Amino acid sequence: MCGLAGIAALGEDNLPAGVGTILAGMSRAVGHRGPDAEQVYMDGPVGLGFRRLALVGPESGDQPLFSEDGKVVLIANGEVYNHRQLVTGSLTGVRTRTNSDCEVLAHLYARDGLRFLDDVVGMFAIALWDRMRHRLVLARDRFGIKPLYYTRVDGAVLFASEIKALFAHPGCRRELDWEGALADQSLTMSPYLTDAPVNTWFRGIEIVPAGSIVSIDLRDGEVDRHQYWNLPSFEGDAGISDEEFVRTYRDLLTGAVRDAATADAELGLFLSGGIDSTAVAALAGATGSPIHTFTVLSGGTLVTGDSEFGHRAASTLGMPNHQLVFDAKTVPAVDEWKRLLWLLETPLCGPEQYYKYELYRYAKQARPQLRGMLLGAGADEYNGGFSTVFNVGADWAGFESGIRQMARAAALHKTPALAPWWECRESPLLEGALLGSSATSPLVDPYPAYVASRHRYLQQYNCWHDDRTAAGNGIEARVPFLDHRIIELLMRIPTRQRAGLLWDKKILREAVRDIVPSEIAARPKGAFIWGEGAGFTHRMVVRLLSQQDCALLEEALASPGARQVLCPDAARAMLGRLRSERQPADARLLLSLVNLGLLDEMTRQLPAVPLDAPPRDVLTAISIGDWDCEAPAIAERVRDHSVPSLHDVVAFPENVLLVQARQSPSRLYLVVDGAFEYVVDADLDAAWFAFLQTVDGERTLGELLDLCGQPYVSVEQTLLASIDAGLLQGIPA
């Protein structure tokens, strides 16, 4: 991971006077991305700023890099995983000057022109100066893992790894795009499919699309866009059995992890205990390099089981595991949140980004030589990871029904006048043909459109924040699941084989079943800090917005743009309502609006660059020996006011009643506000059934556990989920 910045003059032979100072400021704005070295290179109409984080060839990989004849000048952020194969294969005879994995890109371009990335495997953002053709070339990897933005200013093209570096140029337009942001599906979370271009959130700022090359003729400013890779079309390969797909998938994933785990510096791994990160851990561990793992320990991850299974996975695989503690009082201060938001440059900044950023901060302090972090990101989008989330049934057909509804919503989004015929009725009164449902329409086969929508969201959300949270700590995020060869294989699965391979990520589960713990191979899809643990996350957001007399909300409302589009009284009333709710689900939406207002103000008064952020203490991490024995103490570390300790009395709230019918002695019913809402079956959860029968509103949690003869771990997750849902409450004894 590195930081890029540059200026290219249009229609001029040389850069104007004083540009060096501006370029230095742009480079410093992304200085956090590359703490190991800095170079500024000026050549005719082009100036390049480069900040280096050395993971491969640390002794001889400084940039810019050059072709053999010196006519191609290149700076790059990322990793070319197959650089050795390219040098010894198609580039045989070419003399390389450095050990940098990215040098091959200059030689490939010198030979192949705009086809130079066709055979490259890796993640990268590239800025290239073609002296002979007077051409500036900007390019990104196939999934947009590494960022690159550009804009035009006063007869020049500016480009950089982060938007803040563009803003460091005094002539750059600095204006939040309120209309575009508020209408973006990733912000509204409306349930429809879209493959719209990635939103940069700021007017006049463009992003180099994933899998594309943007070529700019500096003589006349003409722009050529070349797409060297697209998400493959779904052309099923009927000649491959399920077993062959699984074997090939295993081979490709093994190779991708091996590539991502190759570095001349220490690597770590974020471990949630899900199948994705555990698969990466198991395969990376096979490379022989010692890998420390890092896990979020919060009220939410305790409920979802991420913290527990992260510990269990690391223990089984023989890897050190650091559990970073986020207790109920852990809330970023006002200034801390603004610095994080400015680092990320997106209104989608939220609790997930905060947790990951703090995890990186801790990892960097605990392991000072650590330079890269392996992630399980990108598996869900293409492996059927959300098939159990977006379904309206218990199988693949139910998933297809769910995403078909999202496809219909997308069609109605484009023709809103027809929406009333489909809304608020038991079944549509019109045929789908009216919405253009041909044989290839998403209304007939919604899965390709669904994957395209997730592909877009991956770039807009996951890749964006995974890069920034890592870069803000001088670490490179590595994502082996985003290897294009894996995705191309998945796109070849025929329609009739999708259910057997993609339902609940079966292809991945089968591929790694022999190397991951069996309990994790079968563990259902979870939702990090949302899902069952969402209450903890939402309440953290409410505390964030409420601190210092609602300082973040008030500052956001005071921004010039917010005064034009937001209703202050409604926003304040919403926060007031959220503060009184046990499940303040709208907190996420309100935070997005606050982020927009804060970013609007930041464009007018640029904050300090991340390099100038004041030092502060990192959070505390714990190492766990025996989860079962330590579970009560672990829960005590992260519990909020509604989670009882062993010394607190457990009781039903006044509106909740426990009922056991004589004719069904093995069933208990929870009646909420006079309505039968929940059934507890002894055959399905004997421990929880026994525990509920002992709750009398007088005994402490510890006494109840002794009375029913159940260990805390057997009821932990259901207890926390029940308290979070308001079915039980803890009362200090």
Residue 491 to residues 384, 446, 502, 564, 732: CA-CA distances in angstroms?
11, 14, 11, 45, 55
Give CA–CA dist 52/64, Å, rounded. Answer: 10
User: Residue 632 corresponds to which tokens in the numbers above?
Assistant: 């009560």
CA-closest candidate to residue 5, choices 190, 160, 219: 160
Dump strand ranges (E) for 35-146: 37-43, 46-52, 65-66, 72-80, 122-130, 135-140
Dump strand ranges (E) for 64-165: 65-66, 72-80, 122-130, 135-140, 149-153, 156-160
How far is Cα of residue 160 from the mean position of the Cα atoms in its chain?
21
- Selected catalytic residue, list 2, 172, 550, 708: 2
Are β-strands 621-622 and 223-227 bridged in parallel, bridged antiparallel, or unpaired?
unpaired
Residues ≥6 apart with Cβ < 8 Å to 312: 273, 517, 519, 520, 627
Give CA–CA dist 581/132, Å, rounded. Answer: 65
CA-closest candidate to residue 218, choices 43, 35, 470, 93: 43
Residue 338 to residues 27, 349, 552, 597, 613: CA-CA distances in angstroms?
21, 10, 9, 11, 11
How far is Cα of residue 336 from the mean position of the Cα atoms in its chain?
20
Give CA–CA dist 39/62, Å, rounded. Answer: 8
> Amino acid identity, residue 380?
D
How many Å is the maximal CA-CA distance in the chain? 91
- Stretch (H or E) spanning 732: strand 729-732
Give catalytic status of residue 567 as yes or no: no
User: Residue 305 corresponds to which tokens in the numbers above?
Assistant: 């089981």
Residue 138 has phi, psi (to 5 degrees) of -120, 135
Output the CA angle 353-359-363, nearest 5 degrees: 145
CB count, 10 Å around CB of 670? 20
* Residues annotated as catalytic (active site), given as ranges: 2
